[in-house]
Structure 1
Amino acid sequence: MYARDNVAGASDLQQRVPGGPQVQAAREMLSMLADPTRLRLMALLSEGEYDVTALVGAVGSARPAVSQHLGKLRLAGLVSMRREGRRALYRARGGHVRRLVTEVLHAASHRVTGAPEHD
């Protein structure tokens, strides 16, 4: 097999490049995860469903700040909320979002500890 056998033409590559709306949505989602408090919240919400009081205690931020972060995460489509009586319960929305958060934290752990990457 020769290297030129694996060369794709420009038009082939252009067809595989994500489109503008998809890239924009991904950028918005990733920018939401760039905030340390929101990433911590997402790590918790990827593991289960929690109310604001539990999240405030876990991340050590003020209640209004946590509520504001949760609102932004909901608008970005990363978090869903359901009511149980007077309580609002939050969780990460869908398997893709949970895997994204888990994978980025695992990658960061490898970077911090120097552990070898997985293929």
Structure 2
Amino acid sequence: MKDSERDICEQYCIHPQIIERLKTAILDDSIVLDMAEMFKILGDSTRIRILHALSQQELCVCDIAETLGMNQSAVSHQLRTLRGARLVKYRKEGKEAWYSLDDDHVISLMCQGLEHISHKR
């Protein structure tokens, strides 16, 4: 048997009770699209580095740029994307912009991702 044939059913057999239960629990299309967009945003290594830095503490844009070896403009661009996805928030203090993770859900996403990646290493 070929590898490509091992991961499919050898005979077509549906399970109506399972299908009916799943159909009642299926996610709304708008939620699916929002989740896909969020994971797309999280699929960028620079954004992951920024989120990880912010999971340690609130940081100003200058500190993020210096920590990651990037210029402020590039960091600011990434922060706008993260802010648009409600993953980070900011506050102004004089002329400084201080960023932090939007809420505990973002910390959970980061922790779950790290745990998932690390548990098989």
* TM-score bracket for the superposition, by shorter chain length: 0.7 to 0.9
Please tell me whether residue 19 in structure 1 is matched to residue 16 in structure 2.
no
Tell me the alpha carbon deviations over residues 30-66 of structure 1, each in whole angstroms, 9 at most, x when there is no partner: 1111110000101111232111111011112222111
Q: Within 5 Å, which residues of 2 pair with 1:98-109?
A: 98-109=107-118
Please tell me whether residue 70 in structure 1 is matched to residue 70 in structure 2.
no
Q: Within 5 Å, which residues of 2 pair with 1:1-119?
A: 8-111=17-120, 113=121
**Counterpart AA for 1:66:** V
SS of structure 1 residue aligned to 2:98? strand
Residues 47, 18 of structure 1: CA spacing in aligned structure 2 closer, same or farther, 3 A cutoff?
farther
**Counterpart AA for 1:20:** D
Aligned-partner Cα distance in 1 for 2:57–2:26: 34
- TM superposition shift of 1:11: 2.5
Residues 13, 50 of structure 1: CA spacing in aligned structure 2 closer, same or farther, 3 A cutoff?
same
SS of structure 2 residue aligned to 1:61? coil
Residues 13, 36 of structure 1: CA spacing in aligned structure 2 closer, same or farther, 3 A cutoff?
same
- Could you tell me whether the CA contact under 8 Å between 1:43 and 1:102 is conserved in 2? no
Scaled by the length of structure 1, what TM-score is found?
0.81
Aligned-partner Cα distance in 2 for 1:82–1:62: 20
In the alignment of these two chains, the number of paired residues is 106
Residues 8, 46 of structure 1: CA spacing in aligned structure 2 closer, same or farther, 3 A cutoff?
farther
RMSD: 1.6
**Counterpart AA for 1:56:** A
Scaled by the length of structure 2, what TM-score is found?
0.79
Structure 2: 5+ residue runs without aligned partners? 1-15
Which protein has the larger Cα radius of gyration, Structure 1 or Structure 2?
2
